[in-house]
Structure 1
Amino acid sequence: MEDDDAAAESTVQADYSDEDDPSVYLERVLTGLSME
């Protein structure tokens, strides 16, 4: 389980850009969590 969580976090961090609005980033994270 922990390995899967780490992989998911790495993917999210890779997708994240400083240019993104924090709310957009948060929504993306929540969407990713809901898809699992």
Structure 2
Amino acid sequence: MSNMGYPPPGEIIVASHGREIYAYDPNGNRLILHQPSP
């Protein structure tokens, strides 16, 4: 996201189902990037 000019405003969240980070697109829509646990 940072390479596209939209650095995520928060930290990576580690949950039981995997890791998540939230970001916002230019229109203000929230994007949830998720990486499942192995």
Q: Shorter-normalised TM-score: what interval?
A: under 0.3
- Structure having the larger proportion of residues in strand: 2
- Structure having the larger proportion of residues in helix: 1
